[in-house]
């Protein structure tokens, strides 16, 4: 599944060493379709819940049938390669035998020119059969490679038509059963709510020696530390330095939280 991370918009404003920010999920992801097709499953009932397993399925019936026949064709091709490889050994022995015979009689004066010509012709024919079978095996091996590539492509496309999640909050589902989607269509937004994120914009004084300072949440001292502090001032909040706090959720998401740095 191809995931595209979208930047979260945080509300953060400061008064001295006091900051306010929204408590947000640690990650929010918009899942976009990587294939075209008709939606045959869209589990709208899971919207607003922590979900596991299949959420959206795009019709893959033709791909599944194509995959089945391609696997059968590959199995037959491999059998043909094995059969022709066995024949090739016999043809090689026959060709070598005829070549050796020709070498023996070519210098004999007691053997007629016509006989020598017939023996040489038999060798040429045997060599032609050998080379023809060898070429056939190479063509079959090339077919096998193409079929293997096709099978891989089909398996990948089938996998991409079943969109599954694992322990993710289904924030929104943007598609319904029966609708048609194209590549790039935003199917859903999922969030990781196992952890929470607070983003604030520190003033220059608070940003100094930040590792030695304590973080207070809603007036209470915590053992939390900043997981990230940007060293370059923010483009939007001029002269402020973006900082992130990662923690287990301690209140409902999207609630305004007071953060103090002392």
Task: Give residue-wise pLDDT tens across range 16-30.
Answer: 478 999 999 999 999
Select the more confidently predicted residue: 235 or 72: 72
Secondary structure in 3-state letters for 172-199: EECCCCCCEECCCCEEEEEEEEEEEEEE
Contact assessment for residue 15 and residue 202, using Cβ atoms and an 8 Å cutoff: no
The per-residue pLDDT for 240 is: 87
Of 34 and 262, more confident? 34
Q: Kindly report the CA angle at 35 between 34 and 39, in degrees rounded to 5? A: 115
Query: Is the confidence at residue 3, as pLDDT, over 60?
Result: no
pLDDT the model gives residue 15: 46
Check residue 147 and give its pLDDT: 98
Q: Are 257 and 217 in contact (CB under 8 A)?
A: yes
Quote the pLDDT of residue 9. 34
User: What are the pLDDT digits (tens) for 171-187?
Assistant: 999 999 999 999 999 99
Does 231 or 49 have the greater pLDDT score?
49
Q: Provide the pLDDT confidence category of residue 11 given band limits of 50, 70 and 90.
A: very low
- From residue 44, alpha-carbon distances to 41, 49, 117 in Å are 9, 10, 82
Average pLDDT of the segment spanning 68-88: 96
Average pLDDT over residues 78-83: 96
- Banded model confidence at residue 149, pLDDT cuts 50, 70, 90: very high
pLDDT at residue 1 greater than cutoff 80:
no
Take residue 83 and report the two structure tokens written for it.
Answer: 């059969």
What is the arithmetic mean of pLDDT over 195-215?
Answer: 89
pLDDT, averaged across the chain = 89
Q: Tell how strand 37-42 and strand 12-15 pair up.
A: unpaired
What is the model's pLDDT at position 78?
Answer: 97
Name the band, by pLDDT with cuts 50, 70 and 90, for residue 8. Answer: very low
Whole-number Å distance between alpha carbons of 121 and 127: 10
**Whole-number Å distance between alpha carbons of 240 and 14:** 10
Greater confidence (7 vs 81) lies with 81
């Amino acid at each position: 599944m191809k995931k595209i991370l979208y930047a979260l918009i945080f509300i953060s404003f400061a008064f001295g060493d006091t900051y306010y920010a929204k408590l947000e999920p640690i990650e929010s992801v918009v899942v976009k379709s990587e294939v075209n097709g008709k939606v045959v499953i869209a589990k709208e009932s899971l919207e607003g819940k922590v979900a596991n397993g299949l959420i959206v399925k795009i019709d893959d019936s033709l791909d599944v049938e194509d995959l089945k026949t391609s696997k059968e064709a590959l199995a037959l091709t491999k059998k043909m390669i094995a059969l022709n490889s066995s024949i090739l050994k016999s043809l090689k022995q026959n060709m070598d035998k005829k070549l050796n015979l020709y070498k023996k009689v070519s210098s004999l004066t007691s053997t007629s020119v016509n006989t020598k010509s017939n023996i040489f012709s038999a060798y040429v024919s045997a060599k032609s059969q050998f080379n023809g079978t060898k070429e056939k095996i190479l063509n079959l091996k090339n077919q096998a490679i193409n079929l293997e590539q096709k099978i891989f492509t089909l398996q990948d496309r089938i996998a991409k038509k079943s969109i599954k999640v694992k322990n993710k909050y289904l924030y929104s589902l943007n598609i319904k059963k029966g609708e048609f989607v194209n590549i790039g269509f935003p199917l859903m937004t999922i969030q990781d709510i196992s952890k929470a994120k607070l983003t604030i914009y520190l003033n220059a004084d608070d940003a100094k020696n930040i590792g030695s300072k304590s973080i207070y949440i809603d007036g209470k001292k915590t053992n939390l530390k900043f997981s990230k502090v940007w060293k370059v001032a923010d483009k939007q909040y001029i002269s402020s330095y973006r900082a992130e706090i990662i923690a287990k959720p301690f209140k409902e998401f999207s609630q305004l939280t007071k953060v103090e740095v002392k």
